[in-house]
Amino acid sequence: MTLHPFDQATTLEPQADGTWLGHTSPAYANMVGPFGGITTAQALSAVLRHPERLGDPVALTVNFCAAVADGAFVVQARPVRTNRSTQHWVVEMLQEGQAVFTATAVTAVRRETWSLDEEAMPECPPPHDVAPPAGRAPMEFVKRYEQRPITGGMPTVWDGSGDSSLTRLWVRDYPARLLDFASLSALSDIFFPRVFIRRSTLVPVGTVSMTVYFHADAQQLADTGSGYLLGQARAQAFRNGYFDHTGQLWNEAGVLLVTTHQLVYYKS
């Protein structure tokens, strides 16, 4: 049996000093270096596999410090504080002894409480009524996801005509794979840069920082299975070299799994 490309990419080898050794995956290559979502999942995997881990991820912030070079990397995941039901992590990914990526994470044991989703899933046609895009960006990682853009897909005409940065799409791993916290963290980075759609203009970009709040627990991930997620993202401000976006991922049943935000460098 062949491992799913995602499981191959997030394989980490424990080292004698408590760190983890991993390798970038050609299957998730972006224009330059890897897809940020896979780097995120690789770093989170070091937390998930740590023998002292308490609970499941509730918050994750990742910072892309430098281009990740193709090849080996080391991940240090350090539980800096363990409380009764929460645990705080500081994570660094190193190449040639230099930090290329940092993260903080919070894991927690959840208890059932009063719960409510205030941000409702927008009305959208079901996944199989939405066609995959006619063309596809040439980056290898794009082939690792099945995407069905409902609104705000990648522009096909680059004429500076955009008037909104809102995107909605159905998305899941390709081939389909049971959702887990690592793959959900990668899917949180699936939205192409908002500046492309707002301006219908291609400019150099790079995500600087991303935060993911996991509202779903393990049972809700299991309920989602290998189904589609509805992703939504929209920028709030583009200002002097940096823009943000705010986004959400729901499962087909309308459960809000993740809210996510990122800050992205752009040149123009």
Q: Which is nearer to a copy of itself, 172 or 245 (CB)?
A: 245
Site string for a copy of itself, 57-76 (x = CB under 8 A): -xx-x-x-xx----------
With CB under 8 A as the rule, give the number of residues binding a copy of itself.
62
Q: Does 188 bind a copy of itself (CB under 8 A)?
A: no
Contact 251, 229 (CB under 8 A): yes
Q: Which is nearer to a copy of itself, 58 or 169 (CB)?
A: 58
Adjacent-strand bridge partners of 172: 146
**CB of 252: closest distance to a copy of itself in angstroms?**
17
With b for 16 or more beta-carbon neighbours within 10 A and e for fewer, the 112-141 pattern comes to: eeeeeeeeebeebeebeebeeeeeeeeebb
Q: Which is nearer to a copy of itself, 11 or 102 (CB)?
A: 102
Q: Does 124 bind a copy of itself (CB under 8 A)?
A: no
Distances from the Cα of 258 to the Cα of 14, 172, 214, angstroms:
29, 14, 5
Contact 256, 121 (CB under 8 A): yes
Token output for 255: 């459960």
Q: Does 192 bind a copy of itself (CB under 8 A)?
A: no
Q: Does 200 bind a copy of itself (CB under 8 A)?
A: no
φ, ψ for residue 140 (rounded to 5)?
-60, -40
CA distance 256 to 224: 11
Q: Which residues make up the interface to a copy of itself (CB under 8 A)?
A: 58-59, 61, 63, 65-66, 80-81, 83, 86, 88, 90, 92, 98-100, 102-104, 106, 108, 110-119, 164-165, 198-199, 208-209, 211, 213, 215-217, 234-242, 244, 246, 248, 256, 259, 261, 263, 265-268
